[in-house]
Structure 1
Amino acid sequence: MILLVQVVGALYGFLAVLFGAFGAHALKKSFDEEQLKSFETGVKYQMYHGLLLIVLGFNLGFNTPLESYLAYCFIFGTLLFSFSIYGLCITGAKGRKWKFLGPVTPLGGLLLLSGWALLFYSFIEEIV
C-alpha cells in the first residue's frame, strides 16, 4: 500500500505540472476566463493531494484500515474531482460539454473532505 500511495502521488504531481503547462499555453486560447480558472483549480487540487499522498506514503505504515481508507479517499477523490473538472472544461470549450461529469466533481470533493476528516481523526486517535 505504501508504494501504491507514493506512486499515485508522484503520478498526480507529474500530471499536475504537465496539465498546468498545457492549460497555461495550449488551452489559454480556447478557454474563457471561467474555464481557465476551473482548470487551474483542478491542477492545484491535484498537486496538493499528490504531494499529500507522497508525504503520507513516507509517514504512515498503512497497518490499519483507517490509514488505507484515508489514502483511497485522497486517491479516488483527486481522480474524480480534478479529472472531472478537466473534462468539463475541455468539452465545454469545444461546445459539447459532458454534463454527466457535473455531479462527479462534488463527489470527488466529498471524498477529499472525507480523507481529510479521516486524517484528522487518525491524529486525534493518537492523542486520546
Structure 2
Amino acid sequence: MSLLLAFAALSGAIAVAAGAFGAHGASGDAADWLKTGAHYQLAHALAAMVAAQLGGRGPGWLFVAGGAIFAGTLYLMAIGLPRWLGAITPIGGVLLIAGWIWLAWIVASRPA
C-alpha cells in the first residue's frame, strides 16, 4: 500500500507543477491542456490516497494509471508532441471511471 501512496503523492506533485506551468508559462491550447490535465491528475491522486485508505488498492492504481495516461497525453501535446496523442487520452478517462465504479463497489459492499 505504501507504494500506491507514494505514486499517488508523486502524481499530485506532477499535477501541481503542470498546473503552475499552464498558469504561468504556457498560452492558448497548451495552457488549457496543462490546466485540464493538472485538474484531473490532482483530483485522482487524492482519490487514489482515499482508495488506499479504504483498502481499495485496485481502484487506487486505476486512479494513478488513468491520471497518468489522461494527463500525460495532454502534457505531451502541450509541449508540442503530435495531436494524435489526444486519441489516447480517453483510455485514461476510462480507467478513471472504472476506478470510481470499483471504489463504489468496495464501499457499497462494506457492512453497514
Task: Give yes or no for TM over 0.5.
Answer: yes
Q: 1:78 touches 1:112 (CA, 8 Å); kept in 2?
A: yes
Deviations 1:34-86 (A, max 9, x none): 432232110011111111222233332xxxxxx33212211110110001011
Q: 2:48 touches 2:61 (CA, 8 Å); kept in 1?
A: no
Q: Corresponding residue for 1:110?
A: 94
1:121 paired to 2:110: no
1:9 paired to 2:8: yes
Deviations 1:8-54 (A, max 9, x none): 11101111111111221122xxx21x432232110011111111222
Q: Corresponding residue for 2:42?
A: 47
Mapped to 1, the partners of 2:71 and 2:45 lie a distance apart of 11
1:23 paired to 2:58: no
Distance change >3 Å, CA 39–CA 49, structure 1 → 2: same
TM-score calculated relative to the size of structure 1: 0.77
CA RMSD of aligned residues (A): 1.8
Deviations 1:63-111 (A, max 9, x none): xxxx3321221111011000101112221xxxxx413412210000000
**AA partner of residue 12 (structure 1):** S
Q: Corresponding residue for 2:68?
A: 79
Rg bigger for which structure? Answer: 1
Unaligned runs of 5+ in 2: none
Mapped to 2, the partners of 1:3 and 1:77 lie a distance apart of 19
Distance change >3 Å, CA 68–CA 58, structure 1 → 2: closer
Q: Corresponding residue for 1:36?
A: 31
Mapped to 1, the partners of 2:54 and 2:110 lie a distance apart of 14
Query: What is the percentage of aligned positions where both structures have the same residue?
Result: 31
